[in-house]
Amino acid sequence: MPIKPCIAKEENYLITLRRWFHARPEPSLQEFETYKKIASELDALGIPHQKIGDTGIAATIRGEKPGTGKVIALRADMDALSLDDLKTVPYASKNPGYCHACGHDVHMAALLGAAKVLQEKRAEFAGEVRLFFQQAEEIGGGAKHFIAAGLLDGVHRVFGGHVIPTMDVGTVGIGGGPRNASSDYFKIDVKGRSAHAATPDKGVDALYIAAQIVTNLQAIVARNTHPIDSVLVSVGKLNAGTQYNSLADSAVIEGTTRAFTPEIRTRTNETVRRIAEGTTHMFGGTADVTIKHFAPPLINDYAAAKEALEIATPIVGVSHIRTNYAKALWADDFADFLEHVKGVYVLIGAKNPASTSPPAALHHGMFDVDEKALLTFCNLYVDFALHYMD
């Protein structure tokens, strides 16, 4: 794997940073120590930066070569997950109940490494590189802070990615079009009327209504979606009732919808509302439906994906490029950036090919990476910026 020498020499720096972040995971919107660490590294590199929200950071590297150049944005997410780190390694989480089980520690370290290299090379390019260290990806709330701050103004391309344990290290997944699904949250508050369980005709059973809603929601996929389209409707929570021999006077359903196009996303969420309200009305109750939009579908620009393919191939070799990888129903609010600027989101292989054990999945307390993935990701960050500005 011909990683550039300017990247390879930063391997210890990258690993040290990654392990620092991994040992100190913080949840969404509480990335305070993470923010301080990134800010101190940027200060040491002489890179100006500003706080975005309470914990996000936007930094800027301006090329010194004559000419106007272009503006490129590179993004890494910062937040960790609320689960225990189950690994017995020196860099295991020091914060009980939190774990970098989604690879954001790798993303931050790789972008800081890229910042170091680009800062050293700033005399070689014209233009501007904006570095987005983005909070709250796991709850779909961080990218909006950067957009609201005007940090996409004038940007020509945005680049980001995600480590993935199902691809060998040194492998990169690049594809145009829809790659990740939208992620939306729904909450259905059902109101009925309590009565003794022996006289159900005297009440309106909110639990029964909620059960019918859960069943009817499955018709969205089975009967309200074209068979070729991919839609997911999942109910993860149902609370109802206070006593075994009384009808529940209220019930609360919570769940998520996923889709790969804006049109299907809108239609799916409208159908959730219609089914909830119609089912409840049919049985004499009322329903209050709340829908929150966490992330839109992640749709890579085809031209940007082609550019990324041209950039990645010399780094990892054509045999280590995956263009036909499956779309994923998990979401990433990097999609918010792609709604405003052409860009691409790639997958970075993080599996040790010599390991005989199956890798732990993302969002599992045993999740870990082959740290050679840091070099791949860092090199891609650097080359995407330099290639496009050139």
- pLDDT value, residue 214: 98
Indicate if the alpha-carbon torsion angle 196, 202, 203, 207 is positive or negative. positive
Average pLDDT over residues 305-316: 96
The C-alpha atoms of residue 302 and residue 177 are separated, in whole angstroms, by 6
Nearest to 252 by CA among 241, 238, 242: 238
The C-alpha atoms of residue 253 and residue 285 are separated, in whole angstroms, by 15
pTM of the model: 0.94
Give the E-state strand segments of the chain in sequence order. 49-52, 56-62, 70-77, 127-134, 157-168, 172-173, 177-180, 183-191, 231-240, 250-259, 286-295, 298-300, 321-322, 343-351
**3-class DSSP assignment, residue 317:** coil
Q: For 41, which DSSP code?
A: H
The C-alpha atoms of residue 122 and residue 128 are separated, in whole angstroms, by 9
Average pLDDT over residues 334-344: 98
Torsion, Cα 99 164 377 90, to 10 degrees, reads: 40
Strand arrangement, sheet containing 250-259: 231-240, 250-259, 183-191, 286-295
Give the E-state strand segments of 116-171 in sequence order. 127-134, 157-168
Could you tell me what percent of the chain has a pLDDT over 70? 100
DSSP state letters, 257-299: EEESSHHHHHHHHHHHHHHHHHHHHHTT-EEEEEEEEEE--EE
By DSSP bridging, strand 157-168 and strand 49-52 are: unpaired
Query: How many C-beta atoms lie closer than 10 Å to residue 326's C-beta?
Result: 10
Nearest to 349 by CA among 304, 306, 389, 315: 315
Q: What are phi and psi of 357, to 5 degrees?
A: -95, 145
Q: Which two tokens stand for residue 64?
A: 């010194």
**Domain boundaries, given as residue ranges, for the chain:** 5-179+297-389, 183-295
For residue range 48-57, list pLDDT tens digits in order: 999 999 999 9
Over the chain, what is the mean pLDDT? Answer: 97
Q: Hey, which CATH number is domain 183-295, 3.40.50.720, 3.50.50.60, 3.30.70.360, 3.10.310.30? A: 3.30.70.360
Domains 5-179+297-389 and 183-295 share a fold: no
DSSP state letters, 79-121: --BSS-----STT--SSTT-B--SSHHHHHHHHHHHHHHHHHT
> Is the predicted pLDDT of residue 2 greater than 90, yes or no?
no
> Is the predicted pLDDT of residue 156 greater than 80, yes or no?
yes
The C-alpha atoms of residue 256 and residue 53 are separated, in whole angstroms, by 26
For residue range 224-253, list pLDDT tens digits in order: 999 999 999 999 999 999 999 999 999 999
Torsion, Cα 229 176 106 6, to 10 degrees, reads: 170
**3-class DSSP assignment, residue 24:** coil
The C-alpha atoms of residue 379 and residue 77 are separated, in whole angstroms, by 17
- pLDDT value, residue 356: 84
SS3 of the chain: helix, strand, coil, percent, to 5: 35, 25, 35
For residue range 245-281, list pLDDT tens digits in order: 999 999 999 999 999 999 999 999 999 999 999 999 9
Read off the pLDDT band of 1 (50, 70, 90): low
- pLDDT value, residue 357: 86
CATH superfamily ID and name for 5-179+297-389: Zn peptidases (3.40.630.10)
Residue 349, Cβ density class (10 Å: 0-12 exposed, 13-18 middle, ≥19 buried): buried
The C-alpha atoms of residue 262 and residue 334 are separated, in whole angstroms, by 15
Q: For 307, which DSSP code?
A: H
Average pLDDT over residues 321-344: 96
